[in-house]
Structure 1
Amino acid sequence: MKKIILSAFSLLLLLSCSNDETTNSTEAPTAEVVHRGCASQEVHERHLQENPLLAQKMAEIEAITQEAVLENRIVNGVLEIPVVFNVLYRTAAENISQAQLQSQIDVLNADFRGANTDYNSNNPFNNVRGAINVKFILDNVVRKSTTKSSWGTNDAMKRSSQGGIDASSPTTKLNYWVCTIGGGILGYAQFPGGATATDGVVCDSKYTGTTGSATYPFNKGRTATHEVGHWMNLRHIWGDANCGNDQVADTPTHNGPNSGVPAVGHRSTCSGQPLEMYMNYMDYTDDRGMYMFSKGQVSRMAAIFNSNGPRKSFR
């Protein structure tokens, strides 16, 4: 089990680690996706380079988060989160239907509230399975035709000046951009503390929802569950480093990301060879292989909506 570390060194390590599964090209080539690719950490590192003040802001958010987690202050009642889908399409297939978008909302509600029916009751981590009392609501759908075949990860899809769609009320609504990202990237998110104009998540149309163009093995809407987890301040479960720290006490140490659906009993080679929580939404397993958040992750997510949290405007 990992201890929560608040030292400047560990925070710097957390913010500086990366993986190799992204592209910053505006016109990234499309690629057949075999393993899950999430560019959230890489995009975050770029934001850190572009904004020297962001690191300090993130450190302050981390301190607030840890204080809230230790005091067990969580949001009371049901927190409603309006979702605006910004759909950018070049082909009819990319212009995904209202039904496909609604299926994604349904998945988010089931996954975050612990109501997903594919949960394995024999899960060895059953005692730490968590749920957060939020309700995602489809607020609006904005559609725009484009000539771009792919968008990359430089936030161009979030700016009308670059052919994208500007965010709608990002301090009170979760903006979800649907587009072809390219480069093997399924999606990415902006962590709390970043620029308001680019706040939200981005997911490829082929990995949004459970119907229509949703493509196996990422056809159960878990790309968005993973990315919204980032938007709620969760890190990858391996801490973006070999045997890294995700700042959550009840998730075991992982060597790195898992892919596919690991065999039951899969353990890391980290100290103590702990059983990995490969069914966690913040790993890289296939959609059918992930089905839970931990209680520690839930406390961390709830903390951002507290009265002094970075997403308090959603209350």
Structure 2
Amino acid sequence: MNQTLYFIIACSLLFAVNLNAQNQFHKCVSAEAEKAMEVNNPGYLQSIKSAFQKAKSNANIRVSQRGNMLDTIYRIRTVFHVVYSKPEENLDDSVILSQLDVINEDFRRKNADTVNTRSIFSSFAADAGIEFFLADTDPDGNPTNGIIHSVGTPSGGIFGGFGASDEVKKTSTGGVNPWPTDKYLNIWICDLMGGIGVLGYSYPPADSLANWGSNNPKADSAVQGVVLYYKAVGRNNPSPIDPSVDGGRSATHEIGHFLGLRHIWGDDQPMFGQGNKCAGDVDGGSDGIDDTPDATDASQQTCDTTKNTCPDPNLSQDYPDMVENYMDYSSDDCLNMFTNEQVALMREVIKLYRPGIAEVVVNTSSSIKQIGNLEMVKVSPNPTQGFVYVELPSSTEGKIELNLISTEGKLVRSFESSTKATRLDLDGIQQGVYLLSVKNRNLSTVKRIVIAE
């Protein structure tokens, strides 16, 4: 018996036993999908870890320099593929639009249940500055509403191996090919896993490993995106799988994985099973995020605010488990927050690994923090007819990022400099009023520029 077949059978048995023992569905199999990918691609898990550590390191630097300053908003171009073989699987567009509302509210912390975040965690909770909009143009340049309904018969999930789960992402195997995954977030909706209780999964970003060649999962665009069980989509689903997951938060959770987040208890636990070890224990799990309190296992469709399964030596005090975090398995009406460090990591993942799927717009909110004196940055000539000189304070050190942004919030042109006086070429840019964002480790400001005829 080859290793892959043995792995598939073992997973199937473990999954069946776990469901029967707990009488619960498994909300997410992203961690298990990663482990299955490792079987055919040795080194894949290390590659995920490498990508996570790179993003975390960059995020830590940015937070230390500027705090969680949302001077820009990432707007992610999204397409939903509704793949169905039965009428009930063909969700109405109103359900998809409801799901879009949920993820936009959750990632901007505009969800009504933010009031339920316990006061002990109020300073941890953060607006991710990430939004989602339906694609209005398909890969061929044709207009679209970003919701594609397709008849398909992808085969079923873990009992066929996780490779079979990805069949929903290929037309040749009964699913639907993704739109270019470097330009769109693809979300497939289907009868995931034959209705046996799995609500979704996605793959996090991975660094390429030279020895993988064409088998590198990062290079395989067919696997990039999110898969959701059709009964766990939207707030107005006509046939929700269970009242505990009828709020559309499965998509929030899976997009969190797509943007690099792990489960808050870490995933170094027995496959499909509950763990009983804290991060400081031998073989204990950790999500790698410092401001999510340690936990031994998932909160399976519950909302137990008394739960405290681990000490928190790396935090200022021993906190209870963060059952309201979107990366737990709590009931949908319990989930209501990402943390500051989770937000910083997701934003860095977009910048490093998924830049093409997002439009970058300036955050015009009055809550934007500004570091440095506006008058310390000089821009001339202004108005200009094709170039400007940007002069920075003599104390400026390190790389400088300069972004020219339209008044509609669209990124027009980006520049980098390591000198205190920089000439920016503006040739080819239409006349009008623009904003020039200037940022480095100790300065962040925005200057108004007028480009004349």
TM over 0.5: yes
* Cα 1:55–1:187 shift into 2, 3 Å: closer
Q: Does residue 268 of the first structure (1) align with residue 318 of the second (2)?
A: no
The answer to whether the 8 A contact 2:125-2:338 is kept is yes
- Any residues of structure 2 matched to 1:77-226 within 5 Å, and which? 77-119=72-114, 120-139=116-135, 140-147=146-153, 150-152=156-158, 153-154=162-163, 155-182=166-193, 183-193=196-206, 194=218, 195-213=220-238, 215=240, 216-226=243-253
Structure 1, 284-293 or 238-247: larger mean CA deviation = 238-247
Query: 1:56 Cα shift?
Result: 4.9
Identify the residue that residue 47 of structure 2 maps to in structure 1: 57
Residue identity matched to 2:187: Y
The answer to whether the 8 A contact 1:33-1:184 is kept is no
Counterparts of 1:60 and 1:271, CA distance in 2 = 25
Query: 1:23 Cα shift?
Result: 4.8
* Cα 1:210–1:131 shift into 2, 3 Å: same
Look up the SS of the partner of 2:245 in the other structure.
coil
* Cα 1:257–1:59 shift into 2, 3 Å: closer
The answer to whether the 8 A contact 1:22-1:184 is kept is no
Query: 1:287 Cα shift?
Result: 0.7
The answer to whether the 8 A contact 1:35-1:284 is kept is no
- Any residues of structure 2 matched to 1:234-273 within 5 Å, and which? 234-240=261-267, 241=269, 242-243=277-278, 244-270=285-311
Alignment RMSD (CA, Å): 2.6
CA offset digits 1:212-263 (Å, max 9, x no partner): 3251221111000000000000000000233221010100000100123333
Counterparts of 2:118 and 2:153, CA distance in 1 = 48
Look up the SS of the partner of 2:35 in the other structure.
helix
CA offset digits 1:95-117 (Å, max 9, x no partner): 00111001111100000111100
Look up the SS of the partner of 1:164 in the other structure.
coil
What TM-score do the two structures reach when normalised by structure 2? 0.59
Any unmatched runs of 5+ in structure 1? 1-20, 25-29
Query: 1:57 Cα shift?
Result: 3.4
Look up the SS of the partner of 1:305 in the other structure.
helix
What TM-score do the two structures reach when normalised by structure 1? 0.83
The answer to whether the 8 A contact 2:180-2:221 is kept is no
* Cα 1:33–1:213 shift into 2, 3 Å: farther
Counterparts of 2:235 and 2:257, CA distance in 1 = 21
Counterparts of 1:83 and 1:108, CA distance in 2 = 11
* Cα 1:296–1:62 shift into 2, 3 Å: same
Q: Does residue 295 of the first structure (1) align with residue 291 of the second (2)?
A: no
Query: 1:53 Cα shift?
Result: 5.0
Residue identity matched to 1:217: S
CA offset digits 1:36-71 (Å, max 9, x no partner): 421101111122222235345334312321221221
Identify the residue that residue 17 of structure 1 maps to in structure 2: none
Q: Does residue 46 of the first structure (1) align with residue 36 of the second (2)?
A: yes
Structure 1, 216-225 or 237-246: larger mean CA deviation = 237-246
Query: 1:266 Cα shift?
Result: 1.8
Look up the SS of the partner of 1:143 in the other structure.
strand
The answer to whether the 8 A contact 1:220-1:287 is kept is yes
How high is the sequence identity, in percent, across the aligned residues? 29
The answer to whether the 8 A contact 1:158-1:167 is kept is yes
Larger proportion of strand: 2
Which structure has the larger Rg? 2
Residue identity matched to 2:199: L
Counterparts of 2:295 and 2:43, CA distance in 1 = 30
The answer to whether the 8 A contact 1:258-1:278 is kept is yes
CA offset digits 1:1-32 (Å, max 9, x no partner): xxxxxxxxxxxxxxxxxxxx9759xxxxx999
The answer to whether the 8 A contact 2:260-2:346 is kept is yes
Relative contact order, CA 8 A, sep 6+: which one is greater?
1
Any unmatched runs of 5+ in structure 2? 1-9, 14-18, 136-145, 207-217, 270-276, 279-284, 359-453
Structure 1, 121-130 or 48-57: larger mean CA deviation = 48-57
Query: 1:179 Cα shift?
Result: 0.5
Look up the SS of the partner of 1:301 in the other structure.
helix
Structure 1, 30-39 or 246-255: larger mean CA deviation = 30-39
